[in-house]
Amino acid sequence: MLLELKNIYKWVNSGSRRIFLLKDINLEVKEGEFMSIMGPSGSGKSTLLNVIGMLDHFNEGTYNFLNEPVHELKEKHRANLYKEYIGFVFQAYHLIDELTVYENIETPLLYKNVKSSERKALVADMLDRFNIVGKKDLFPQQLSGGQQQLVGIARALISKPKLILADEPTGNLNSKQSEEIMELFKDLNNEGVTIIQATHSEMNASYGSRTIHLLDGMRNRTN
Amino acid sequence: MNDSITFKKRTIMIRNYFKIALRNLLHNKGYTAIKILGLAVGIMCCILIMLFVSSEWSFDKFHSNADRIYRVWQDEKYEDQNFVNTITPIIMGPTLEANIPEVEGMCRILRVNPTVTYTQKDFTDQALMVDTTFFKLFDFKLLEGNRANPFPQINTVILSKTTAKKYFGNASALGKNLEMQLGNEKEQFIVTGIIEDAPEPSSIQYNMLISYANVGKLFSEGLQKSWFNVFGETYVMLREGILPEQLYPKFPDMMKQALGENYEPGGFEVYLQPITEIHLDNNLPQGLQPISNPKYSYILATIGILILLVACANFVILAIGHSSSRAREVGVRKVMGAERHQLIYQFMGEAFIVTCASMILGIGFSLALLKPFNSIINRELAFPLNISFVIFCLLLVLIIAFISGFYPAIFLSKFNPVVVLKGKLSSKKGSGFLRQGLVIGQFAASIAMIICTIVIGQQIDYFKNKDLGYNKEQIIVVSTNLNRIEGAVLAERYRTELLKHPEVSEATVSLYSFAESPWITLGFTNEMKAYRSFQYNSVDANFIEAMDIEVKEGRAFNEQITSDVTNAAVVNEAFVELFGLKDPIGKKLPGPFQQEIIGVVKDFNFQSLHTPVSPLLMTMKPDSVFRKTENIGMAFAPQPRISVRMEAGGLSNNIKVLEEAWKQVAPNQDFVNTFLDASIEAQYKAEARTSTIVKIASGLSIFIATMGLFGLVTLILSRRKKEIGIRKVLGAKVISIIKLISMDFALLILIASIIAFPLAWWFMNDWLQEFAYKVDIKWWVFVLASVAAIVIALITISVQTVKTALSNPVNSLRTE
Ligand SMILES: Nc1ncnc2c1ncn2[C@@H]1O[C@H](COP(=O)(O)OP(=O)(O)OP(=O)(O)O)[C@@H](O)[C@H]1O
Ligand SMILES: [Mg+2]
């Protein structure tokens, strides 16, 4: 079992009212799964991904990641956990504008204190794999959206995560580009990387092995 | 092993930070330029001021025995007054040396004005008469000559390098003769040494040195033994490890023996002042060289630090203002695994790079501006390329980088990735508060400096324009350069000659003119054993009328009345008040003097406006007055001087007329003249200097703050572009948009004014205390300063806002 959410609640207080962002979420994800989260805008997809990615807190419930109880871990330990095992891919790519393609991909390795020679090899592999060797010295603004997202994915993969969390990874791309990205995810998944993506697209969801539906922060079981 | 790995990792990270920092800085060239330029100006101010202050504090430290050399000062007490002096009796040094075994050496220094005859002309030069121990105590460099025996004979002289050049050109001066007159006759002096010019931070300055053995040519045996006449400075060197306080208990006995029946316990106390404290200790009167008011060091240091802080505030304001565009990067990095401290290092690194760049630029600025700065402060400071300067610069870089980088680093590294990556970073109130605080601080400093500029300017105008009680217009003073008796004869001849010229409207002879201040200080002990001192001048019969001095009671001197020459005295109101005289006309002068008071003149400012008008006595002939006085103090040589009032006309022509006339009466003598208004202006040099510095400082401060404001407004506008676009689409006019943006800032500047007012008032009030005659601080000065700041700010804001407001709203709304 890669991760397991039990009775997860997340809320914010607005005045005297309590607004639930996540309500009683129960979810198990096994290693090697490719899961899609769907639901209308505002249903809590991003919130759920952030909780899974340990970027955001939840208020109630238990969350075990690789059999470690995340809710009981210290902040620092939790951060180490997600740095080690989780890669993020964003709808808006979120590359660092001042860094080249090469440097963007390299950044997570720097924070993991990987040796220089090793870093070079890893980044070179990654560039090779995504066919962007020729673009390595360009800055993000000089790339198309699809290329930027490729770099985003390469960056997420560089530290060899077990789990990739992708929040509408193709939201800003045209259908051709989307297809390429989804094919890539599928390949990765076949190599054993677990993927959880939030998406509005049935088409994208169809690449996955499983889809869950959210509505108002709750799993919509009618679907 | 482990250490070397972490070290390597560190350097990798640091390289990475630097790379990113550099790119970030280049990416935002405008803001980077503002930050660097502002800091560079601040650093320049700091460096220049540090040079000045450190020179002030390094006075006299170059002597290897500086820690054991002391200047003797004395405190004479009378019933109701005491007289503190750093100028001491001639006998002081020998007495100390003879009675106190802890005194290892003693050197007296007397300033004299010998007449040097050179190429058949007479010049008055300045010489120090010093004991042969001069080179034993002090480290001045003797280039040629014998340190152990500098004056092998009595008629020998040591010339400074500059003086030697002046009289002998490039030829070697050693062994040559120089004709000089010290006392009553001309004598040949042999040059037995060449001495390096005294370094600038030295309280002992000289053109030439003459042996103290010549003192007899100037002062009678009686004066040389007198304890109540003071003539020069006395320095002593104590034995290793002896502190002056250890010697103080021995002094009363020494004085008792020295003064004999004149001794009263505590009546004449002797103290020692460390030589290194002379320059900045204004609790004691100055000796032979002017001293500095330490206040000016503090004022300058304050100004330097203020400007630097204003520049640092710029950095912080812009860094935080720019945070929205950095927030995403922070979020991404955190998600990529960056820890907060790593981000803090990164931002500190940026601050460090900016500061280093500013430092290089700042050093460049200071090098370029050292010369003008030197001319403002009237110094010859040089750039010290030594270790302590390098350390100063490095420290400055670290401090500035810390002050300006720390808060932005903390602030920026705090962003929560979930929030910023969602792209809804609200312009948080918390940071706005600090930013506003800093803008307020910047403008408060600037406004305070503007107020000071105006008030100081007003005080200086006041100095220039105040009615002094006499007419100072169009006056040129010509000095006879001769002693009292010879000078009086020459002056009278010159005056007669001058009056033949139509360009001359008045000419009057006096021992001292308005170009010298103070005049002669006289003192006596009255029958109540109280000491009374006042100023004295000897003037001719025309003086009072020629100078337009108002006679209040009685009459001025009259040439026709022969008894006036020896028997008449004119005093001022302050004199009448000091002695409590009722109906003074016709009464004999108080004290030992025989003259009768024939007139009282209204107080006129013959001294600088720093001091109130002193009691003044004037007679036509000085001899009998001098004979009756116990205590005579002169800061300038008593040489009859002719004050000439010219008819309005060409300056150079006026001088030519005076010079021609001088050649008629004294063909062999140098023509020495002074413009009265120039020498009066010179009395306020320190104030004029402060004024220039504060003026420049407030200009720089406003400049830096305005640059920061410009950057800040640009940032705010770029963030509110969309809002402005929407408002325009909804029908808002440009002016209402300007109002929207500027109202906030106007309010900030108002608050800044409220902070600046009391500070500036306090500062100026304190500064004005130095003057007996001063301006009131007017309320409109404050209003003017803050209006000026608001106008400058509004112009800055409007220029930027109009640009944004005029741009097509569709463009800004599309960029989403
Ligand atoms: N900090 C917060 N305070 C209040 N409400 C919040 C907060 N964060 C999220 N929400 C609300 O929670 C709900 C879920 O937001 P979330 O971003 O997870 O939706 P989403 O499913 O990802 O929508 P989209 O498809 O538009 O990305 C939304 O209604 C949002 O307004
Ligand atoms: Mg979402």
* CA–CA separation, B416 and B419 (whole Å): 6
**Cross-strand pairs, B609:** none
Examine the pLDDT at B393 and tell me if it is beyond 70: yes
Strand arrangement of the beta sheet that strand B568-572 belongs to: B551-554, B596-601, B568-572, B616-619, B531-538, B520-525, B631-633
Task: Name which residue leads in pLDDT, B122 or B665.
Answer: B665
Secondary structure of chain B: what % helix, strand, coil (to 5)?
Answer: 50, 15, 30
The CA-atom distances, in angstroms, between B274 and each of A192, B71, B137, B242, B805 are: 84, 6, 13, 12, 67
- Are B332 and A98 an interchain contact pair (Cβ–Cβ within 8 Å)? no
Q: Do A111 and B336 touch (CB under 8 A)?
A: yes
Residue A215, classed as helix, strand or coil, is: strand
Distance B420 CA to ligand 1 centre (A): 13
Give, for ligand 1, the residue of A9, A43, A220 to mutate: max count of ligand atoms closer than 8 Å to Cβ. Answer: A43
Which of these, B756, B751, B742, B744, lies nearest to B792 by C-alpha position? B742
Residue with CA at minimum distance from ligand 1 atom 13: A42
Give the per-residue pLDDT at B816: 37
Instruction: Report, as an integer, the average pLDDT of B484-498.
Output: 89
Q: Does A116 touch chain B (CB under 8 A)?
A: yes
Pocket test for ligand 1, best of A47, A56, A168, A220 (most atoms within 8 A of CB): A47
Name every chain B residue with its beta carbon within 8 A of the beta carbon of A99.
Answer: 20, 23
Res A221: pLDDT = 60
pLDDT digits (tens, 9 = 90+) for B243-258: 999 999 999 999 999 9
**How many whole angstroms separate alpha carbon B700 and alpha carbon B704?**
6
Domain boundaries, chain A: 32-58+77-219
Question: What are the residues whose beta carbons fall under 8 Å from the beta carbon of B260, sequence distance 6 or more?
Answer: none
Q: Given pLDDT bands bounded at 50, 70 and 90, which one contains residue B808?
A: low
- Tell me the pLDDT band of B80, cut-offs 50, 70 and 90: low
Specify the residue for token string 């007198």: B226
Q: Crossing angle, helix B340-377 and helix B685-729, to 10 degrees?
A: 140
| Ligand 1 atom nearest residue A39's Cα | 21
Q: By the CB < 8 Å criterion, does A111 face chain B?
A: yes
Mean pLDDT computed over A165-191: 90
What rounded mean pLDDT belongs to chain B? 87
Residues B125/B163, Cβ–Cβ less than 8 Å = yes
ipTM of the complex: 0.89
Please check whether the domain covering A32-58+77-219 is classified as CATH 3.40.50.300. yes
Residue B815 has pLDDT above 50, yes or no: no
- Cα nearest neighbour of A55 on chain B: B418
pLDDT band at residue A14 using 50, 70 and 90 as cut-offs: confident
Comparing C-alpha atoms, which of B454, B457, B368, B442 is closest to residue B703?
A: B442
State the distance from the centre of ligand 1 to the C-alpha of A43, rounded, in angstroms: 7
**How far from the centroid of its chain's Cα atoms is residue B720's Cα?**
49
Whether the pLDDT of residue B427 is over 60: the answer is: no
Mean pLDDT of A41-48: 91
Q: Please enumerate in sequence order all residues whose Cβ is within 8 A of that of B15, keeping only pairs 6 or more positions apart, or say none.
A: none
pLDDT in tens, B593-636: 989 999 999 999 999 898 899 999 999 988 888 888 777 777 77
Average pLDDT over residues B202-222: 91
How many C-beta atoms surround the C-beta of residue A49 within 10 A?
20
Q: Is the pLDDT of residue B743 over 60?
A: yes
Under a CB-based contact definition with an 8 Å cutoff, are residues B684 and B517 in contact?
no
Q: How far is A112 from chain B (nearest CA, A)?
A: 7
B79 vs B319, which has greater pLDDT?
B319
Residues 6+ apart with CB under 8 A from B674: B476, B477, B479, B513, B515
Contact indicator for A111, B339 with CB cutoff of 8 Å: yes
**Global model pTM greater than 0.95:** no
Sign of CA dihedral B174, B175, B179, B183: positive
Q: How far is the CA of A17 from the centre of ligand 1 (A)?
A: 16
pLDDT value at B812 more than 80: no
What per-residue confidence (pLDDT) applies to B3?
61
| Residue A55 near chain B (CB below 8 Å) | yes
Cβ <8 Å between B13 and A90: no
Please check the confidence at residue B4 and state whether its pLDDT lies above 50.
yes
- Does pLDDT of B429 surpass 50? no
Per-residue pLDDT for B277 more than 90? yes
Q: Count CA within 13 A, CB hemisphere, residue B50.
A: 20
Question: Residue A96 is nearest to which of B332, B339, B342, comparing CB atoms?
Answer: B332
